[in-house]
Structure 1
Amino acid sequence: MNTAFHPSLFQINTRVWLTELSQGLGRPATLDDIPDTELERLAEMGFDWIWLLSVWQTGPAAQSVSRTNLDWRHQFEETLPDLRETDIAGSGFAITDYTVHSSLGGDAALARLRERLKQRGLRLLLDFVPNHMAPDHPWVEQHPDYFVHGSDADFAKAPQNYCRVRTSRGPLVLAYGRDPYFDGWPDTLQLNYGNPNLQHAMIGELLRIAKQCDGVRCDMAMLVLPEIFERTWHIHAELFWPQATQHVRKQFPAFIFMAEVYWDMEWTLQQQGFDYAYDKRLYDRLREGHARPVREHLYAGLDYQQKLARFLENHDEPRVAATFTPEMHQAAAIVTFLSPGLRFFHQGQFEGRKKRISPHLIRAPLEPVSEACQQFYEDLLAVLREPIVRDGQWRLLDCVPAWEGNWTSDCFISWSWEKNDGQRQMIVVNYAPNQSQCFVQLPFSDLAGQAVRLKDLMGLASYDRDGSALVSRGLYLDLPPWGYHVFQITTLP
């Protein structure tokens, strides 16, 4: 199985995908109906990982909340003007059991799909939701102590964060799942990480999941860190992630953990056992549109950067095609996906889709395909299939003013990839809405005295230059707003 040092991941909304397949089949589709040709296409595109979103069993309680919450329904109608009740299945993150949903074909269908993926060199990533469970999860009846409780006064004071639940042991006031900055999610109940028995039970759930896939994306992973949990609930909690990741890896040594994480806590979770953490900081800086903060972000040590999951959209973020101009989108993609770390793509991104699909929905709107966007990503994925950017050595390059007083050199971000066999690439981006000039400083002293060709792998440009001049002064570039080059560097006879 492929083990690239800088792998690529593709996120798929499983329920939406099967809804589309169902329309063609004329019957409800399951995981067994995903064609081998689609899996082969994903492998040929160069992906290492397939993340199937929302495969776990959900129940009627969360679905009822999703269908009756007026604010959510308004969002659903913006996505699907022809919204039907059957389109609202409930959030895939309001889980009643870590078994594959019966409508998807159950655990057996997932096992068959995983084997088909494995045959094509693809590994399977699934969801783990540590913070909360669905209101009708069996633990509410069997282990109510696994949840955060409140009082009648709590419910009266903050009904947006608490609910009344009927059980065979009598009524309870339980907290909705939430983070410390927002109201609770009313289709979930908050798990109590101050209870050691709950932590043990969640490790058991992780071990169940690890038998069915090759890795997990952990939803809002920072919420169960002791300092965050105590700030939110005023309940002392012991560390969970170090013991959880260690327990799983004792049985499944190659198992991968990816953290959805915010608030600059990426390094913390990397140190607690995570292989990858969301790089939301890079995304935010790219969205702001200034080169210097992006460049400063890339100064971080490689031990940190290579464990970041870099993205331009996912199921939580707005579509990149709706957020960035086409030119800025391309420049941001060059920076995001040709930098070190895990390259994280989202279903619909390549086609230039503009409507975000809520995890509560199982149908997507019909949208036109952007041929320009599709062609750009075809070219970019071809570059990403090259071993040099999957397993090579990366370094940030300096860009200096083209002449005294020319401030536009500050608009550039440049870096190189190289392999021990002599392969080299140099990437340069003018991440600004203005035309910019600079000299890029090349670190390859052995080019002196040679004729050098720089061929753009993402365009038609090809330049022959004197290697001695490149080494002594650098490569002069004059690029339009959001312009970029992905140069393959070779020497000529």
Structure 2
Amino acid sequence: MPRPYYPSLYQINTRVWLQALSQDLGHPATLDHVPDSLLDTWAKWGFDWLWCLSVWETSPTSQQVSQTFPAWQTEFQAVLPDLGAADICGSGFAIQAYDVAPRLGGNGALQRFRQRLADRGLKLMLDFVPNHVGLDHPWLQNHPEYFIAGTVADLESQPQSYYHLPDELGGGIYAYGRDTYVPDWPDTLQLNYTEPGLVAAMTEELVKISALCDGVRCDVAMLVLPDVFARTWGREAQSFWPEAIAKVQAAQPGFCFLAEVYWDLEWRLHEAGFDYTYDKQLYDRLRSHQVRPVREHLSREVKFHNQAVRFLENHDEQRAAVTFSFEVHQAAAIITYLTPGLRFFYDGQLQGYPHRISPHLGRQPQAPVNASIEAFYQQLLAVLQQKILRTGAWQLLTCRPAWSENGSWDNFLAWAWTDDQNWLLVVVNYAPYASQCYVDLPWPELAGESWWLQDQLSAAGYERQGDELRQRGLYLDIPAWGYHLFEFGQV
């Protein structure tokens, strides 16, 4: 069996990012204006994928909702105290058409941008939003049956959940896009997966998108699973993902599907054909600062980890520099990115930016670079380019008490990476105080030799005897939130 390959992905908020570039250039910037030097930097950092968030044409009416919805204005003004209407470009998930917005350069600019990425070994990922569309979508005129219809009674009793299409546009009452556990999205309309025509039309949208990029990140992908849709809407839905994915991959072999998914439904989407699924469970457990749930999660089968998307922030989550103190941030990043899976980084994370930018906004505030966070990530990105961390075999290791009545061993996480030539040991003390343990090592070849353990993330290095390592394990005494990445070499 070929070994899995663990790629790295970098997400940018395209509209925000091009607005900043426009300011630097002194004129409106499209994807054609992105400098080659920046693409070279992404390649040098070792990224395999660039995810360009919010490139599609969005709904003008949805933009008006974004500019006036009271709860959102409070959030926007907290980030941009000098907020203006032009800063609110509407949600990138309120899509009117799967064509690149003219202000970004249109489909032609995207195709040229994709080729420039490919010249540097980078693949392009774009958005697909299966659950809903913007308020101006042309299907409202041509195929109203593609939407969940409501009644006057629905609109009167639940005005927060239903939209009255203006009479001059055809009239009708339709449900807003819905997720069971959050308020309805009043800038979107819910698609009706009980309708076979809608399923066919969305499949064709996916086929169209697949000619423009190398993969898609599918927004709240679990919402259109038939049983989830039935629980949300009380209606029996058509199957979508297995058939749509198969059709796309028949047209574009190797096309990648990445799912945003929650509620323990990751396996369901793997089985439906997705290559990767969000691992928010790991993120939430790291954020809780409790090591045992993290260990339990990492004890899952390797197949799950191979298809997991590992992240510390994205456009939906708070910035890592705010969520974690610097010490915890480093430890959480070691756990997140030195375990298997797709390693997902968000624009601004590497610089320690503090402000989460809503997908409704087209501008971000000026923020200073956090030099300590930037230096840490530059070192981590360099380490992640090693072949052993891309294609090696990963194994969670057992930690034991350093002595009786010392329970701090339970604060440790340890794992090994092995390939044909190298061994790496990663250890983290995910606790706010110093801890001690022995860790059992998996390599019988240690016996009978002396070994130098060199930390790749610091100047620390230690000589140890292989027989003792095999018999007793490696003794560790690590300060609060401390970590090591040891490479083993014979003395």
Alpha-carbon spacing, 1:37–1:63, altered in 2? closer, same or farther (3 Å) = same
What is the aligned partner in structure 1 of residue 443 from structure 2? 444
Matches within 5 A, 1:209-220: 209-220=209-220
What is the aligned partner in structure 1 of residue 428 from structure 2? 429
Paired with 1:51 and 1:176, the residues of 2 have a C-alpha distance of: 27
String of CA shifts for 1:173-232, please: whole Å, max 9, x gaps: 100001112221010000000101100000000000000000000000000011111111
What is the aligned partner in structure 2 of residue 279 from structure 1? 279
What is the aligned partner in structure 1 of residue 460 from structure 2? 461
What is the aligned partner in structure 2 of residue 5 from structure 1? 5
Paired with 1:183 and 1:419, the residues of 2 have a C-alpha distance of: 48
Root-mean-square deviation (Å): 1.0
What is the aligned partner in structure 2 of residue 22 from structure 1? 22
How far is the alpha carbon of 1:154 from its aligned partner?
1.1
Pair 1:480-2:472 in alignment: no
Matches within 5 A, 1:407-418: 407-418=407-418
How far is the alpha carbon of 1:4 from its aligned partner?
7.1
What is the aligned partner in structure 2 of residue 121 from structure 1? 121
Match of 1:186, SS state, is strand
Pair 1:33-2:33 in alignment: yes
What is the aligned partner in structure 1 of residue 137 from structure 2? 137
Paired with 1:310 and 1:130, the residues of 2 have a C-alpha distance of: 22
Paired with 1:84 and 1:158, the residues of 2 have a C-alpha distance of: 30
Paired with 2:237 and 2:446, the residues of 1 have a C-alpha distance of: 57
Residue 127 of structure 1 contacts residue 216 of structure 1 at CA under 8 Å; is this kept in 2?
yes
Matches within 5 A, 1:260-279: 260-279=260-279
Amino acid at match of 1:268: R
Residue 4 of structure 2 contacts residue 306 of structure 2 at CA under 8 Å; is this kept in 1?
no
Residue 434 of structure 1 contacts residue 481 of structure 1 at CA under 8 Å; is this kept in 2?
yes
What is the aligned partner in structure 2 of residue 310 from structure 1? 310
What is the aligned partner in structure 1 of residue 391 from structure 2? 391
What is the aligned partner in structure 1 of residue 88 from structure 2? 88
How far is the alpha carbon of 1:157 from its aligned partner?
1.4
What is the aligned partner in structure 2 of residue 332 from structure 1? 332
Match of 1:340, SS state, is coil
Pair 1:224-2:252 in alignment: no
Match of 1:232, SS state, is helix
Amino acid at match of 1:193: Y
Amino acid at match of 1:426: L
Amino acid at match of 1:39: L
How far is the alpha carbon of 1:25 from its aligned partner?
1.3
Amino acid at match of 2:165: V
What is the aligned partner in structure 2 of residue 404 from structure 1? 404
User: Gaps spanning 5+ residues in structure 1: where?
Assistant: none
Residue 276 of structure 2 contacts residue 308 of structure 2 at CA under 8 Å; is this kept in 1?
yes
Residue 317 of structure 2 contacts residue 356 of structure 2 at CA under 8 Å; is this kept in 1?
yes
Residue 141 of structure 2 contacts residue 170 of structure 2 at CA under 8 Å; is this kept in 1?
no
String of CA shifts for 1:76-129, please: whole Å, max 9, x gaps: 000111111111100011000000001000000000000000000000000000
What is the aligned partner in structure 1 of residue 78 from structure 2? 78
Match of 2:171, SS state, is strand
Paired with 1:454 and 1:408, the residues of 2 have a C-alpha distance of: 23
String of CA shifts for 1:307-364, please: whole Å, max 9, x gaps: 0100000000000110111100000000000000000000000111111000011111
Residue 141 of structure 1 contacts residue 168 of structure 1 at CA under 8 Å; is this kept in 2?
no
Amino acid at match of 1:432: A
Paired with 2:283 and 2:114, the residues of 1 have a C-alpha distance of: 31
What is the aligned partner in structure 1 of residue 293 from structure 2? 293
String of CA shifts for 1:140-187, please: whole Å, max 9, x gaps: 111100000011111111111101113568421100001112221010
What is the aligned partner in structure 1 of residue 150 from structure 2? 150
Match of 1:176, SS state, is strand
Matches within 5 A, 1:61-210: 61-166=61-166, 170-210=170-210
How far is the alpha carbon of 1:302 from its aligned partner?
1.1
TM-score by length of 1: 0.98
What is the aligned partner in structure 2 of residue 490 from structure 1? 489
Matches within 5 A, 1:44-63: 44-63=44-63
Paired with 1:256 and 1:100, the residues of 2 have a C-alpha distance of: 20
String of CA shifts for 1:378-397, please: whole Å, max 9, x gaps: 11111100000000000000
Residue 314 of structure 2 contacts residue 346 of structure 2 at CA under 8 Å; is this kept in 1?
yes
Match of 1:395, SS state, is strand
Residue 319 of structure 1 contacts residue 349 of structure 1 at CA under 8 Å; is this kept in 2?
yes
Matches within 5 A, 1:361-400: 361-400=361-400
User: Gaps spanning 5+ residues in structure 2: where?
Assistant: none
Amino acid at match of 1:361: L
What is the aligned partner in structure 2 of residue 255 from structure 1? 255
Residue 351 of structure 1 contacts residue 369 of structure 1 at CA under 8 Å; is this kept in 2?
yes
String of CA shifts for 1:9-64, please: whole Å, max 9, x gaps: 00011011100110111111000000011001000100000000000001310110
Q: Judge which range, 160-169 or 303-312, deviates more.
A: 160-169
How far is the alpha carbon of 1:238 from its aligned partner?
2.0
May I ask how many residue pairs the two structures share in their alignment? Answer: 489
Paired with 2:194 and 2:159, the residues of 1 have a C-alpha distance of: 23
Amino acid at match of 2:483: Y
Residue 453 of structure 1 contacts residue 462 of structure 1 at CA under 8 Å; is this kept in 2?
yes
Residue 161 of structure 1 contacts residue 175 of structure 1 at CA under 8 Å; is this kept in 2?
yes
Amino acid at match of 1:462: G
Match of 2:230, SS state, is helix
String of CA shifts for 1:258-279, please: whole Å, max 9, x gaps: 0000111111101100000000
String of CA shifts for 1:404-446, please: whole Å, max 9, x gaps: 11100000000010102x2010000000111100011111111
Match of 1:415, SS state, is strand
Amino acid at match of 1:438: C
